[in-house]
Amino acid sequence: MDNTTGFSVEPPEAADAPSSESRRGFLKFAALTGAVVSMTANRALADGDIAFHAQDLSDEQLVDLFRTILKIRWHERTQADEMLSNPDYRGYNHFYAGQEAVASGVCATLRNSGPFDQIDVVYSSHRPSGHAIAKGVDIPRMCAENDFRATGLNGGYAAEMHLSDPDVGFIGADGMIGPSMPIATGSAFAFRARGSDQVSVVFGGDGTYATPHFHSALNNAKILDLPFIYVLENNLYHQYAHYTYSSPHKDIASAAAAYGIPSRVVDGQDVIQVYNAAKEAVDRARSGGGPSFIEAKTYRYYNHWGAPGAKAGELGAFGYDPLAITSFRPDREVRAWMQRDPVDIARRTLIEWGALDAAGAEAVEADVKAEIAAAFAWAAEQPLCTPEDGLEHVFTQGTVPARQFG
Amino acid sequence: MDNTTGFSVEPPEAADAPSSESRRGFLKFAALTGAVVSMTANRALADGDIAFHAQDLSDEQLVDLFRTILKIRWHERTQADEMLSNPDYRGYNHFYAGQEAVASGVCATLRNSGPFDQIDVVYSSHRPSGHAIAKGVDIPRMCAENDFRATGLNGGYAAEMHLSDPDVGFIGADGMIGPSMPIATGSAFAFRARGSDQVSVVFGGDGTYATPHFHSALNNAKILDLPFIYVLENNLYHQYAHYTYSSPHKDIASAAAAYGIPSRVVDGQDVIQVYNAAKEAVDRARSGGGPSFIEAKTYRYYNHWGAPGAKAGELGAFGYDPLAITSFRPDREVRAWMQRDPVDIARRTLIEWGALDAAGAEAVEADVKAEIAAAFAWAAEQPLCTPEDGLEHVFTQGTVPARQFG
Amino acid sequence: MTQKSWMYSVLEAVQWEMQNDPKMIWIFELTPPVASTPGRPVINLETEFGRKRVVNTGIDENWMASCCLGASLAGSPSATYIPYQGALMPFQVIQNVAGKLRHMTGGRASMPVTWIIEMTGQTPGFAGQHSCYEEDSYYAHIPGVRTVVPSTPFDAKGMMHASLRSPDPVVFLYPAGLRTLVEDVPDEPYEVSLEKAAVRMEGSDLTIVSSGAGMPEVVKAAETLRDEGMGVEVVDLRVLKEMDTDTLVNSVAKTKRLLTVDQSYFTLCPGAEVIARVATNVDGAKYKRVAFPDAPPPASPEMFLWMRPDADKIAGAARGLV
Amino acid sequence: MTQKSWMYSVLEAVQWEMQNDPKMIWIFELTPPVASTPGRPVINLETEFGRKRVVNTGIDENWMASCCLGASLAGSPSATYIPYQGALMPFQVIQNVAGKLRHMTGGRASMPVTWIIEMTGQTPGFAGQHSCYEEDSYYAHIPGVRTVVPSTPFDAKGMMHASLRSPDPVVFLYPAGLRTLVEDVPDEPYEVSLEKAAVRMEGSDLTIVSSGAGMPEVVKAAETLRDEGMGVEVVDLRVLKEMDTDTLVNSVAKTKRLLTVDQSYFTLCPGAEVIARVATNVDGAKYKRVAFPDAPPPASPEMFLWMRPDADKIAGAARGLV
Ligand SMILES: Cc1ncc(C[n+]2csc(CCOP(=O)(O)OP(=O)(O)O)c2C)c(N)n1
Ligand SMILES: Cc1ncc(C[n+]2csc(CCOP(=O)(O)OP(=O)(O)O)c2C)c(N)n1
Ligand SMILES: [Mg+2]
Ligand SMILES: [Mg+2]
Cβ atoms within 10 Å, residue A7: 16
Domain boundaries, chain D: 2-185, 198-321
Whole-number pLDDT of residue B307? 81
Residue A34 pLDDT grade (very low, low, confident, very high; cuts 50, 70, 90): very low
pLDDT along chain B (406 residues), means of 10: 32 35 30 31 49 86 98 95 91 94 98 97 98 98 98 97 97 96 98 98 98 98 98 93 94 98 97 96 98 97 82 58 56 88 96 95 98 98 98 97 97
Q: For a pocket test of ligand 1, which of A93, A95, A126 has the largest count of ligand atoms closer than 8 A to its C-beta? A: A126
Whole-number pLDDT of residue A156? 98
Annotate chain C with three-state secondary structure: CEEEEHHHHHHHHHHHHHHHCCCCEEEECCCCCEEEECCEEEEEHHHHHCCCCEEECCCCHHHHHHHHHHHHHCCCCEEEEECHHHCCCCHHHHHHHHHHHHHHCCCCCCCCEEEEEEECCCCCCCCHHHCCCCHHHHHHCCCCCEEECCCCHHHHHHHHHHHHHCCCCEEEEEEHHHCCCEEEECCCCCCCCCCCCEEEECCCCEEEEECHHHHHHHHHHHHHHHHCCCCEEEEECCEEECCCHHHHHHHHHHHCEEEEEEEEECCCCHHHHHHHHHHCCCCCCEEEEEEECCCCCCCCHHHHHHHCCCHHHHHHHHHHHC
Q: Rounded mean pLDDT of chain A? A: 86
List pLDDT tens digits, range D222-245: 999 999 999 999 999 999 999 999
Dist CA A361 CA A348 (whole Å): 10
**Least confident interval from B177-181, C271-275, D122-126:** D122-126
How many helices (H) and strands (E) in chain B?
Answer: 11, 8
Could you tell me which chain B residue has the CA closest to the CA of A263?
B1
Full set of structural domains in chain B with CATH: 59-385 (3.40.50.970)
Annotate D29-84 with three-state secondary structure: CCCCCEEEECCEEEEEHHHHHHHHHEEECCCCHHHHHHHHHHHHHCCCCEEEEECH
- Nearest CA to CA, how far is B162 from chain A (Å)? 25
List pLDDT tens digits, range A222-237: 999 999 999 999 999 9
Long-range contacts of residues A326-332, Cβ cutoff 8 Å, at least 24 apart: A326/A240, A326/A241, A326/A245, A326/C32, A326/C46, A326/C56, A327/A237, A327/A240, A327/A241, A327/A242, A327/A245, A327/C56, A328/A240, A329/A236, A329/A237, A332/A34, A332/A35
Residue A30 has pLDDT above 80, yes or no: no
Whole-number pLDDT of residue D30? 82
Residues above pLDDT 70, as percent of chain C: 100
Mean pLDDT confidence for D41-60 = 96
List pLDDT tens digits, range B108-159: 999 999 999 999 999 999 999 999 999 999 999 999 999 999 999 999 999 9
| Pairwise CB contact (< 8 Å): A212 & B210 | no
Mean pLDDT confidence for C224-235 = 98
pTM: 0.94
Residue D125 has pLDDT above 90, yes or no: no
Taking the alpha carbons at both ends of chain A, their separation in whole angstroms is 64
Whole-number pLDDT of residue B240? 79
Chains C, D: CB pairs < 8 Å = 159
Ligand 1 centre distance from Cα of residue A125 (Å): 9
Whole-number pLDDT of residue A18? 34
Instruction: Give the nearest ligand 2 atom to B304 CA.
Output: 19
Whole-number pLDDT of residue A308? 82
Whole-number pLDDT of residue A32? 27
Chains near A with 3+ CB pairs less than 8 A apart are B, C, D
| Pairwise CB contact (< 8 Å): B156 & D299 | yes
Environment of ion ligand 4 (residues, CB < 5 A) = B 205-206, 235, 238
Question: For residues C7, C11, C12 and C16, what is the CA-based torsion angle, rounded to 10 degrees?
Answer: 160
CATH architecture of D2-185: 3-Layer(aba) Sandwich (3.40)
Instruction: Give the nearest ligand 1 atom to A205 CA.
Output: 15
Task: Identify the three-state secondary structure at position B170.
Answer: strand
Q: Rounded mean pLDDT of chain B? A: 86
List pLDDT tens digits, range C133-151: 999 999 999 999 999 999 9
Whether D198-321 and D2-185 are alike in CATH topology: the answer is yes
**Chain A residues 168-197 with CB within 8 Å of chain D:** 171-172, 174, 176, 179-180, 182-194
Ligand 2 pocket check for B302: Cβ under 6 Å: no
Q: Rounded mean pLDDT of chain D? A: 97
CATH architecture of D198-321: 3-Layer(aba) Sandwich (3.40)
| Pairwise CB contact (< 8 Å): C268 & D95 | no
Mean pLDDT confidence for A317-328 = 50
Q: CA–CA distance from B368 to each of B129, B364, B371, B374, B375 (Å)?
A: 16, 6, 5, 10, 10
With CA atoms as reference, report the closest residue to B75 among B100, B111, B109.
Answer: B100
Cβ-nearest to D129 among B175, B208, B405: B175
For residue A393, give the amino acid letter.
Answer: H
Cβ-nearest to B404 among D259, D298, D308: D308
Whole-number pLDDT of residue A332? 84
Ligand 2 pocket check for B172: Cβ under 6 Å: no
- Nearest CA to CA, how far is C97 from chain B (Å)? 8
* C108-123 burial: b if 16+ Cβ within 10 Å, else e: bbbbbbbbbbbbbbbb
Instruction: Give the nearest ligand 1 atom to A127 CA.
Output: 21
**Residues in the ligand 1 pocket, defined by CB under 6 Å:** A 126-127, 175-178, 204-208, 235, 237-239, 304; C 30, 59, 83, 85-86, 89
Name chain D contacts of C91, Cβ cutoff 8 Å: 88, 91-92, 138
List pLDDT tens digits, range A113-171: 999 999 999 999 999 999 999 999 999 999 999 999 999 999 999 999 999 999 999 99
ipTM of the complex: 0.95
Q: CA–CA distance from C18 to each of C26, C79, C184 (Å)?
A: 9, 10, 23
| Pairwise CB contact (< 8 Å): D141 & C140 | no
Residue A172 pLDDT grade (very low, low, confident, very high; cuts 50, 70, 90): very high
With CA atoms as reference, report the closest residue to C250 among C209, C291, C212.
Answer: C209
